[in-house]
Amino acid sequence: MVHGEMSPLSRTLEFGFLVIAPALLLAHVVRFATAEDRIWWWPIPVMLGLIAADFGSGLVHWAADTWGSETMPVLGKRFVRPFRVHHQNPDDFLARDFIDTNGDVAMVEAPLLALGFALPLTAEWGQAAAFFVVALCAGGLPTNQVHQWAHMTDPHRVVKALQRAGLILSRNAHQRHHTAPHVVNYCIATGWCNRALTSIRFFPRMETLVSRLTGWQPRSDVRS
């Protein structure tokens, strides 16, 4: 079982977004640096944005692992299937190149980053929101890259150093997710939220809630 090939059109589009998203991030940094005055507590929304990025990566991953099916229209092939393939054949992910690995996240983030320019840096709330959004996107953009690195047996030494420092998801933390039944450590950006979410049983509780509201059964469509 392998991940589907991308069409030349989607490759070109994803390449475009991989240029646009980092360019927008850089433009935001320049905008912050040249702002008249900056809120002194900007590290707080930045930290919250980075935490939200990891939490968001977990939520998206959990949704794809737990609900829906590969045969669903649109989302099934592009969203659910890659996550399901990844459990059955983790090494297939290592064969995906840079554009295939990172393009989707860049495509989702580009509009959000563009909207971020509408936040006024003259107001304190606007600055806080802008710092949050930019940190969220900066933390989220390399998610799939970081995930791929967590699967490499011998990544670049800079990557290893970042993994050891706990700044990005480590191989050991992620291996726990790859142990059946694949229901812990869903977060794949920094991995910072994994321990806390496991300790409060966040995802099992969410599954109970979703089942109660919709009648769906978690992982009902997952082939073992």
DSSP secondary structure string for all residues of 31-75: HHHTSS---TTTHHHHHHHHHHHHHHHHHHHHHHHHSS-TTSTTH
Nearer CB in complex with Zn ion: 28/61: 61
* Nearest distance in Å: CB 218, Zn ion: 13
54 lies in the site for Zn ion, by CB under 5 A: no
Instruction: Report which residue's Cβ sits closest to Zn ion.
Output: 65
- Kindly state the smallest distance separating residue 210's Cβ from Zn ion, in Å: 17
Provide CB contacts within 8 A for 175, sequence distance 6+.
none
How many residues interact with Zn ion (rule CB under 5 A)? 1
Part in contact with Zn ion (CB under 5 A); list of ranges 62-70, 107-115, 163-171, 213-221:
62-70
Q: Is 65 in the site for Zn ion (CB under 5 A)?
A: yes
CB of 148 to Zn ion, least distance (A): 8
Sign of CA dihedral 121, 125, 131, 134: negative
Instruction: Please state, in angstroms and rounded to a whole number, the distance separating the CA atoms of residues 91 and 188.
Output: 16
Task: Give me the least distance between CB of 191 and Zn ion, in Å please.
Answer: 12
Sites of contact with Zn ion (CB under 5 A): 65
